[in-house]
Structure 1
Amino acid sequence: MSLQTRYPTFDPAWKKHSTGGWYTIPCPVCGTPDAVTWNARSLPGPAGRVPVCRECLPAQRDTWSERVAVAVDQGPRMWNADAAAWHANPGAKVAPVAFALADGVGDDPEPQWIAQLAVLRVAVAACHEGSVAAIEDARRARDEYYETVGAPLSQRGDTVLAVVTPLERGYQAAWCGDVRVWAYTDGDLNQYTIDHTAETELLEAGESPEMAAQYRNRVHRCLSIGDVESVFLGPDSDLILLTSDGVHDALTWAQMRQCMAEELSKGTGAAALRGAVQSLVRAARAAGGRDNATAMLIRTS
């Protein structure tokens, strides 16, 4: 059986019900067709976990469930185009687990659908192919779907996203767009990704921060276009954080670090991880953020 048969597909039958119904995907472990049912409005499984069929569920019992936390706030937007998912597959060839976060470009059902399916597909594929290849696979699948249905470019949904997978020592993060990957170690928060935006290009060209900030949300790399970039996170990274721009655009680095420090001073158990991501999205909303806000936090050991 081809690995591709195990990946969630860009399926028009699912799209029809993406605003609140249920849809089915093949089991990402054994590949059995239509074996997993999921509600499109919810996160995939507990704390964002990609669901598997009942036969594969016993083999999925591991410690990751207590080491991952996700918080999502739709805010005043009409649609929640943020999505986060993670998938554990101890028998996979490349990585035993993968974590993904996406932010659909726009405020309508099409980017919401693309973001939701992208994180499901990328989280599953990254275990078998690695983080960079997983994003490139999702790009091909998206393009093939839109070519098949003959959708004009103006009606094609798009998303920015990032995926993180463990290496033999440390972690690799791959991304396109302005989803950010951070490491929180010994009370310090460090950003590892660079936003693929016009703002970044203007700052590198020497423009003033005030002028460049006007172009903060103009991304020039996303699922549909641009190179996928990757970065290495060292094995000393205690916690890995992924955020959508609804979090990190609304908060300063110092505010994000304070949210993390206050909650994680209680420890790094499951409750503390949930408290940290919830604190981040609440603070983003309190700061006046009007975008979808999503944070995913992973304890690496």
Structure 2
Amino acid sequence: MNSTPIWHTASERGPRTVNADAVGAFARHGHSATFALADGVGDSPAAARAARVAASAAARSLEENGPVAAILAAQAAVRALDGKGDAVLVVAVPFEGGYQVAWVGDVRAYAWDGVLLHQVTHDHTLAQYFRDHGQEPAPHMEHVVTTSVRTARPDEIGTAVAGTGGLVLTSDGVHKQLSLTTMRDVLARPEAGAAGLVETAIGAGGRDNATALVVEPTRLADLRTIPIVTAA
């Protein structure tokens, strides 16, 4: 991949005190963009700052070093803060077959080809841990992450491949509010995009920050004359 794709992002604070979600994107000359989405742990300025620092550091990590190195760059940046603030993070680094993805926590990445939406990440939460071991989790476990930017060891960082031209990154304020089918139906509307996902999540009663980043599949991007751009 050697050209910057059409992408757009949207974010809403919802009923929280601050918006502790952040998005980062960076493309060096002659390269496609690396994308990152971070969700600060908690509802505080420190959480928001950690998310912004993590997303920026991850997106600006050298593409050739891969997504795990991007997570570790974000970790170094967050640990260099004043000891306060943490975040969960997903980062997508382009390669010829799509995107290499790494993550910590419960932010998600989906492969999106304009028709099919496929989740490629696996939540690092206490609830998912119990499900993976055949047990039904308590509801509060959905919000307890088992890895984060500040605390994760390298071997705890999740990795996956989104092997299509399109990509969707979301914070849990989107994907824990909307089913996969609903998300796909929203994305199928050409005018919706990232803003449509966020608006639908908040409209459905979302109680968290809601953020989405959508990279258009190539075959759809070629049909669009005006990209939808909503700043997070």
TM-score by length of 1: 0.67
Q: Which residue is equivalent to 1:218?
A: 144
Pick the aligned partner of 1:201 from 129, 132, 157.
Answer: 129
Q: Which residue is equivalent to 1:97?
A: 33
- In 2, Cα distance between the equivalents of 1:78 and 1:145? 22
Structure 2 unaligned blocks of 5 or more: 219-232
Is residue 40–residue 86 contact of structure 2 (8 Å, CA) maintained in 1?
A: yes
Using a 3 Å threshold, how does the CA distance of structure 1 residues 124 and 83 change in structure 2: closer, same or farther? same
Q: Which residue is equivalent to 2:214?
A: 297
SS at 1:117 equivalent: helix
Provide Cα deviations, 1:197-219, integer angstroms capped at 9, x if missing partner: 001001112122xx443310100
Residue 166 (1) aligns with residue 94 (2): yes
- In 2, Cα distance between the equivalents of 1:278 and 1:98? 20
Query: Superposed, which structure 2 residues align to 1:37-56 within 5 Å?
Result: none
Give the structure, 1 or 2, with the largest relative contact order (CA under 8 Å, sep 6 or more): 2
Pick the aligned partner of 2:74 from 123, 138, 163.
Answer: 138
Q: Which residue is equivalent to 2:222?
A: none
| Residue 290 of structure 1: how far off its partner (Å) | 0.8
Residue 228 (1) aligns with residue 125 (2): no
Provide Cα deviations, 1:129-172, integer angstroms capped at 9, x if missing partner: 321101112212322444xxxx4xxxx20000111011133210
Percent identity, aligned pairs only, is: 37
Number of residue pairs matched? Answer: 214
- In 1, Cα distance between the equivalents of 2:122 and 2:145? 12
- In 2, Cα distance between the equivalents of 1:200 and 1:89? 36
Structure exhibiting the larger radius of gyration computed from Cα positions: 1
- In 1, Cα distance between the equivalents of 2:109 and 2:44? 25
- In 2, Cα distance between the equivalents of 1:126 and 1:75? 34
| Residue 250 of structure 1: how far off its partner (Å) | 0.8
Q: Which residue is equivalent to 1:41?
A: none
Query: Superposed, which structure 2 residues align to 1:107-122 within 5 Å?
Result: 107-122=43-58
Is residue 164–residue 171 contact of structure 1 (8 Å, CA) maintained in 2?
A: yes
- In 2, Cα distance between the equivalents of 1:126 and 1:200? 31
- In 2, Cα distance between the equivalents of 1:284 and 1:230? 26
SS at 2:174 equivalent: helix
Provide Cα deviations, 1:54-106, integer angstroms capped at 9, x if missing partner: xxxxxxxx963x60100101111110000012101025xxx642000000000
Pick the aligned partner of 2:166 from 239, 244, 252.
Answer: 239
Residue 188 (1) aligns with residue 88 (2): no
- In 1, Cα distance between the equivalents of 2:44 and 2:10? 21
Q: Which residue is equivalent to 1:256?
A: 183
Question: For residue 198 of structure 1, what is the amino acid of its counterpart?
Answer: L
- In 2, Cα distance between the equivalents of 1:166 and 1:290? 32
- In 2, Cα distance between the equivalents of 1:131 and 1:228? 10
Structure 1 unaligned blocks of 5 or more: 1-61, 265-271
Query: Superposed, which structure 2 residues align to 1:267-278 within 5 Å?
Result: 272=191, 275-278=192-195
Provide the aligned C-alpha RMSD in A: 1.8
SS at 2:61 equivalent: helix
